[in-house]
């Protein structure tokens, strides 16, 4: 048996957590540069606001219905996600963190007659410890657990649902394009074979599905019929880490873009350090806005192979600047830039170039400095201590004019309570 835990309207729930005055009010969260709607509360969905719609198209509707609009606050969402996943793993170690707001549990060691009670307890524990509401779907496979979660949230409006004894009923009421792993890409082709719901899909011959479609859909068919094909996946170290974003407005000055590249280098470095990894390859990219046909178009990237794998942010930032100097073109209006750290390896398996080895003293000194930077930022908030190359103006940064405070990661932005 499997369970899928899914945070309800996660971004909107995060915004509500520290703003009880927003309870029952419609909320939307916008993408980078406040472009499109990427999250909605149930109240916003009821107003007909669609996922992915450009904000300017619904701005009037939002004003009319007093919709609370927020810029994306990924620092807050990431921290609250970590708290939710920590509670889940503390209560059930056989867990796969599937996304920022979803986790699968393998419940094979739990007696079936105790599963629903356990999941109900876990749902309440998560809410008590984090304030984030979740729905839990239970099924014989991961796909059926997804179905159960869908039913719990969309059909029954209950926190926990076990689909095991009602599989045929709910599969018959689930359209093909709502099935995990199917979507619109196969909808028309399946319809041509007379398959319009999940129950009909589950009855197809798996070999026929593999021959006419692919092995991924074959696994879905088997999973819908109760045969597990998808085990929990272990978290493996990343092979690359990227940091990038679109500018708040077009930028052409080298100094501004260099600051942005240095910032992205520092951001990617911090992610890498937290995972105990080092990098052997760095690359930088810049590009203009492909939708501005009235402007000169330009896009380029360049890589830099490091003599020795490293996690020294000073060295990486210098390398990134050298890369930018190679691809920067004067007169171009740049829309986006970023840094990629690749060929990542575990720090304990570091191998040095025979002819370019740093001294033991340099290695120790570098480690002290990197630990100092990470320690200060962990205590006082991300980016508190950084290289001067990042600058202080951030005039290049993306527009987030409606961003909420970093309630949980910045001492100066803690919520305030007043006693009267």
Domain segments of the chain as ranges = 11-72, 77-224, 240-390
Q: Note the pLDDT of residue 236.
A: 55
Q: Which of 112, 226, 216, 213 is nearest to 171 (CA)?
A: 226
Which stretches in the chain have pLDDT values below 70? 183, 233-238, 349-359, 393-401
Distance, CA of 333 to CA of 335 (rounded, Å): 7
DSSP assignment letter at 411: G
Q: Note the pLDDT of residue 27.
A: 96
Distance, CA of 359 to CA of 321 (rounded, Å): 25
DSSP assignment letter at 197: B
Q: Which of 147, 140, 92, 131 is nearest to 8 (CA)?
A: 131
Q: Which helix (H) or strand (E) holds 46?
A: helix 42-46
Across 384-419, b (16+ Cβ under 10 Å) vs e yields eebbebbbeeeebbbbbebbbebbbbbeebeeeeee
Tokens standing for residue 142: 């991961």
Taking CA atoms, 129 is separated from 57, 94, 103, 124, 161, in Å, by 38, 20, 17, 9, 21
Q: Is 240 helix (H, G, I), strand (E, B) or coil?
A: strand
Taking CA atoms, 40 is separated from 14, 47, 51, 52, 261, in Å, by 12, 10, 8, 10, 32
Q: Note the pLDDT of residue 245.
A: 84
Q: Note the pLDDT of residue 413.
A: 83
pLDDT in tens, 242-285: 998 888 788 899 999 999 999 999 999 999 998 889 999 999 99
**What does DSSP say about strands 134-139 and 2-7: parallel, antiparallel, or unpaired?**
antiparallel
Q: For residue 346, report the phi and psi dihedrals to the nearest 5 degrees.
A: -65, 140
Q: Which of 93, 206, 188, 98 is nearest to 146 (CA)?
A: 98
Class in CATH terms, 11-72:
alpha beta
Q: Which of 347, 94, 343 is nearest to 234 (CA)?
A: 94
* CATH 3.50.50.60 correct for 240-390: no
Q: Note the pLDDT of residue 84.
A: 97
Q: Note the pLDDT of residue 182.
A: 82
CATH architecture classification, 77-224: 2-Layer Sandwich (3.30)
């Amino acid at each position: 048996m499997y369970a899928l835990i899914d945070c309800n309207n996660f971004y909107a729930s995060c915004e509500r957590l520290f703003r009880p005055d927003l309870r029952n009010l419609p909320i939307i969260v916008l993408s980078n540069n406040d472009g499109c709607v990427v999250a909605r509360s149930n109240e916003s969905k009821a107003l007909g606001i669609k996922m992915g719609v450009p904000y300017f198209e619904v701005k009037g509707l939002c004003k009319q219905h007093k919709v609370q609009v927020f810029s994306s606050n990924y620092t807050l969402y990431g921290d609250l996600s970590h708290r939710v996943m920590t509670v889940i793993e503390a209560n059930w170690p056989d867990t796969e963190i599937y996304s920022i707001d979803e986790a699968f549990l393998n419940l094979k060691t739990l007696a079936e007659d105790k599963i629903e009670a356990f999941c109900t307890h876990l749902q309440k524990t998560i809410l008590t410890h984090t304030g984030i509401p979740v729905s839990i779907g239970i099924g014989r496979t991961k796909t059926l657990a997804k179905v159960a979660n869908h039913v719990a949230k969309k059909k029954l409006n209950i926190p926990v649902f076990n689909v095991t004894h009602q599989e045929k009923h709910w599969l018959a009421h689930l359209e093909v394009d709502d099935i995990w792993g199917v979507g619109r890409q196969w909808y028309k082709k399946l319809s041509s074979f007379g398959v319009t719901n999940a129950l009909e899909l589950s009855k197809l011959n798996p070999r026929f599905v593999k021959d006419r479609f692919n092995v991924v859909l074959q696994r879905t068919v088997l999973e819908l019929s109760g045969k597990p094909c998808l085990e929990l996946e272990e978290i493996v170290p990343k092979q690359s880490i990227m940091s990038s974003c679109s500018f708040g407005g077009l930028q052409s000055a080298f100094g501004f873009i260099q600051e942005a590249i240095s910032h992205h280098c520092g951001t990617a470095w911090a992610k890498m350090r937290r995972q105990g990894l080092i990098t052997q390859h760095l690359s930088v990219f810049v590009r203009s806005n492909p939708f501005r046909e009235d402007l000169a178009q330009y896009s380029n990237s360049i890589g830099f192979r490091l003599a020795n794998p490293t996690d020294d942010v000073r060295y990486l930032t210098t390398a990134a600047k050298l890369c930018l100097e190679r691809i920067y073109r004067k007169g171009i209006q740049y829309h986006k830039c970023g840094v990629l750290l690749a060929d990542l390896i575990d720090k304990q398996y570091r191998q040095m170039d025979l002819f370019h080895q740093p001294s033991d003293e340099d290695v120790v000194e570098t480690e002290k400095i990197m630990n100092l930077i990470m320690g200060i930022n962990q205590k006082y908030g991300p980016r508190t201590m950084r290289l001067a190359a990042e600058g202080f103006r951030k005039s290049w940064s993306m527009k987030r004019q409606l961003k909420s405070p970093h309630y949980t990661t910045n001492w100066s932005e803690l919520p305030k309570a007043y006693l009267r």
